[in-house]
C-alpha cells in the first residue's frame, strides 16, 4: 500500500495524473450507501423572500451533487438562494467509495424526485460532474445539467486520464494518502491555498479538517455513456481554479456544447461565489421552461 501511494504521488507531481485501480461501473452493494442520502430540503414560501421573482423556481427540482474533498455542506450558501426562488432542493451525501456507489445514490435521489412530473436540474461540482454524467439517463425527469468547475467525461474516459491531458495544477503537490485506506486527501495545511484561496481562512482551515477523502477507484474507473449527450448543459468555469485546470473546464464545456459562463473563482465556487452558481442554475431553469 505504501508503494502504491508513493507511485501515486510521484505521478501527480509530474502531471497531476493519478495512479488508481479501475473497477467496473457495477451497482452491486451500492444500495447499502443510500443511508448517506440527505433529507430533502424543500422550497421556502414566496412570502418569506424579498426577491423580485419569488416563484422563478416553482415546479422545478434541483438536485445538488458535491465533489471530492468536501461533502453536501459545500452547497450551504447556494441552497437558501434556490429556496428563496421557490425551487425544490435536494442534496446527496456521496460515499465516494466508487463511481458506481455514487451514481447509485444519485439515481435513488432522482427516483425520489421523479415521483412527481416536475422537471429536475442536476447540478455537479468538481468530481460531482463525473457522477451527474453517469446518472439520470433513465427513469428520471432530468431536463438540464449544470456543471460547476466539474469534470465531464465522455464514454470510456477516466478522471486520471483527463487530468493528464492538461498542464499540472497546484493540487498535485498537496495530495497525500488520507486516514481512509486507499483514498487521497489534500494535506490540511495546503487545503486553504489550493482548494479555496478566496474563502475566509478560518472557514478554509475548518473545511480542511472536515474534508472527505477521495477513493482511488473513483479516479480510475472508465465513465459510461454520458447524460450530457442527450440533455442540455450549462457550465461555470472557475478562472482561478488550482484543482482542475481552467482550460480543462473550458474543454469539457465546449465539447458538451454547454452554455458557458466564467468567474474569477477558486475551485470552491459554491462556497466563494454562491450567487453566481445560483444564477447559472436559474438560467438553466428558465431555458428548460422556455
pLDDT tens-place string over residues 229-278:
999 999 999 999 999 999 999 999 999 999 999 999 999 999 999 999 99
Q: Which pLDDT score, from 0 to 100, does residue 57 have?
A: 84
- 72-92: average pLDDT: 97
pLDDT tens, position by position, 2-51: 333 344 444 433 434 333 333 333 333 333 333 333 333 333 333 333 34
Domain definitions of the chain by residue range: 2-18+30-173+220-289
pTM over 0.75: yes
∠ Cα 164 167 168 (to 5°):
80
Q: Which pLDDT score, from 0 to 100, does residue 246 have?
A: 98
Q: Which CATH class is domain 2-18+30-173+220-289?
A: alpha beta
Q: Which pLDDT score, from 0 to 100, does residue 19 have?
A: 35
Q: Which pLDDT score, from 0 to 100, does residue 183 have?
A: 97
Map 74-139 to HEC letters: HHCCCHHHHHHCCCEEEEECCCCCCHHHHHHHHHHHHHHHCCCCCCEEEEEECCHHHHHHCCCCCC
Length of the chain equals 290
pLDDT greater than 70 at residue 217? yes
C-alpha cell at 36: 448517506
pLDDT class of 213 with cuts at 50, 70, 90: very high
pLDDT class of 56 with cuts at 50, 70, 90: confident
Amino acid at each position: 500500500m505504501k508503494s502504491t501511494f508513493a507511485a501515486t504521488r510521484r505521478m501527480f507531481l509530474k502531471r497531476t495524473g493519478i495512479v488508481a485501480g479501475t473497477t467496473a461501473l457495477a451497482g452491486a452493494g451500492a444500495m447499502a450507501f443510500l443511508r448517506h442520502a440527505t433529507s430533502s430540503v424543500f422550497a421556502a414560501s414566496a412570502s418569506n423572500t424579498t426577491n423580485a421573482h419569488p416563484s422563478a423556481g416553482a415546479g422545478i427540482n434541483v438536485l445538488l451533487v458535491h465533489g471530492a474533498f468536501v461533502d453536501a455542506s459545500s452547497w450551504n450558501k447556494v441552497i437558501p438562494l434556490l429556496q428563496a426562488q421557490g425551487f425544490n432542493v435536494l442534496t446527496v451525501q456521496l460515499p465516494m467509495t466508487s463511481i458506481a456507489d455514487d451514481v447509485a445514490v444519485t439515481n435513488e435521489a432522482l427516483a425520489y424526485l421523479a415521483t412527481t412530473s416536475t422537471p429536475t436540474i442536476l447540478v455537479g461540482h468538481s468530481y460531482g460532474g463525473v457522477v451527474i454524467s453517469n446518472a439520470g439517463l433513465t427513469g428520471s425527469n432530468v431536463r438540464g445539467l449544470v456543471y460547476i468547475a466539474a469534470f465531464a467525461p465522455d464514454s470510456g474516459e477516466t478522471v486520471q486520464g483527463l487530468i493528464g491531458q492538461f498542464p499540472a495544477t497546484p493540487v498535485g503537490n498537496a495530495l497525500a494518502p488520507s486516514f481512509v485506506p486507499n483514498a487521497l486527501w489534500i494535506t490540511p495545511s495546503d487545503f486553504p491555498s489550493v482548494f479555496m484561496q478566496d474563502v475566509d481562512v478560518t472557514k478554509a482551515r475548518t473545511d480542511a479538517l472536515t474534508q472527505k477523502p477521495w477513493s482511488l477507484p473513483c479516479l480510475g474507473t472508465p465513465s459510461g455513456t454520458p447524460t450530457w449527450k442527450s440533455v442540455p448543459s450549462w457550465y461555470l468555469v472557475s478562472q482561478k481554479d488550482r484543482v482542475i485546470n481552467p482550460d480543462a473546464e473550458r474543454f469539457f464545456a465546449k465539447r458538451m456544447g454547454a452554455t458557458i459562463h466564467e468567474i474569477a473563482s477558486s475551485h470552491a465556487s459554491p462556497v466563494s461565489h454562491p450567487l453566481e452558481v445560483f444564477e447559472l442554475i436559474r438560467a438553466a431553469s428558465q431555458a428548460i421552461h422556455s
